[in-house]
Amino acid sequence: MVQYYRIALLMSTLSRNAFNCHEILLLSIIWPTLSVPIEHPALPAVPEPAGLPGLEGGEAFITGICPRDQAAALSASQLLRQRILSQVEAEHYRTLRTDKRRLDWLAGRAAAKAALRLYFRKTLGHDLDPATLEVAANAQGGPVCSRPDAPAFSISHCAAGGLCVAGFSGRLIGADWETVTPRTRGLARLFTREGELPVDREASPLELTRLWAVKEAVLKLLGLGLACSPRDVEAVLALGAQPIRFHGAARARWESLGSPRVSIAMTDDTDSVAAVAYTGD
Ligand SMILES: CC(C)(COP(=O)(O)OP(=O)(O)OC[C@H]1O[C@@H](n2cnc3c(N)ncnc32)[C@H](O)[C@@H]1OP(=O)(O)O)[C@@H](O)C(=O)NCCC(=O)NCCS
């Protein structure tokens, strides 16, 4: 750009006046700089897609993540965003109001592209350009991909970053990634049913976060989100005591899907819990 400016400046000077000794002097000084090759900023590399360690889906599902620092790098670099977002996604990004929403949205989209790239690598045998895997929202807010052969997938974001889980073989999928935070007993009662909490002691923050994450993952699998009460999904703290039981609006939706078996996979560390709900075994 600077080079073009120099050339334009010189041409306009030369066209306005006849050559004189000053201009010949000027030309002799700046000509060497005009012949310097134009430098373009190097295109940033698209990060290699990675899954969430400890949450292996085997034949059932595949995960993709975008850690928070990667989302922050995306938010700071328009060039990097151009590498992974489609035109429509880039325009949508510009409409998001707060820094937090922009970061969450980017983390979720980057995680979705990671999961979908890994999915297509496995099913098609080759890599796809992340910008061609356009992810939009359906009327309920759930994610959909522009490719007709894309699997069902689910997005979640928390302080650790974005997570996306894609299902194999036509499975329905719901995912939730939650930071472990203390929840009061009063709040816990709002989203739990009798029998889901221990009676002889307080449930720990980790137990409550696990319970919440399972319910939210199941509600996303059903395509309902929090439009439906989490109390309509009955899980138990001991995950061995599956399957999930459905009530109210969740039951109606589950039955409309043919009452599929819903399985849960989960991983947690001291800071966060990730839960995946998927149909089939
Ligand atoms: C789905 C929902 C529970 C997620 O809440 P959250 O804990 O803030 O967010 P998470 O990070 O775990 O998940 C967010 C992602 O869930 C997905 N999602 C949203 N609505 C969904 C639905 N109905 N079904 C499946 N997935 C949904 C989206 O991909 C969203 O990320 P994105 O908007 O960046 O693409 C919530 O957004 C919701 O219920 N939305 C429906 C609208 C509604 O009725 N809200 C009432 C709130 S009390």
140 lines ligand 1 (CB under 6 A): yes
Mean pLDDT in residue range 135-152: 97
Q: Across residues 249-256, what is the average pLDDT? A: 98
- Separation of 227 CA from ligand 1 center, angstroms? 9
The residue-averaged pLDDT of 224-242 equals 80
| Angle subtended at Cα 266 by Cα 156 and Cα 196, rounded to the nearest 5 degrees | 100
Across residues 109-119, what is the average pLDDT?
A: 98
Task: For residue 132, give the DSSP letter.
Answer: G
> For 5-11, what is the mean pLDDT?
45
| 9 or 81, greater pLDDT | 81
**Ligand 1 atom with the shortest distance to the CA of 223:** 24
CA of 10 to the centre of ligand 1 (A): 58
- pLDDT averaged over the chain? 87
Extents of the domains making up the chain: 2-34, 61-279
What pLDDT score does 185 carry? Answer: 86
pLDDT at residue 35, rounded to an integer: 52
Question: Is any atom of ligand 1 closer than 6 Å to the C-beta of 165?
Answer: no
Cα 175-180-184 angle, rounded to 5 deg: 110
Is the Cβ atom of 142 under 6 angstroms away from ligand 1?
yes
Q: How confident is the model at residue 105 (pLDDT cuts 50, 70, 90)?
A: very high
pLDDT of residue 36: 52
Of all protein residues, whose CA lies closest to atom 4 belonging to ligand 1? 225
Ligand 1 atom nearest residue 222's Cα: 24
d(CA 2, CA 131) in angstroms, rounded, equals 30
Distances (CA, A) of 129 to 49, 84, 113, 194: 11, 8, 9, 48
The pLDDT of residue 218 is above 50: yes
pLDDT tens string 166-205: 999 999 999 999 999 998 888 999 999 988 888 888 899 9
Assess whether pLDDT exceeds 70 at residue 22.
Answer: no
CATH of domain 61-279: 3.90.470.20
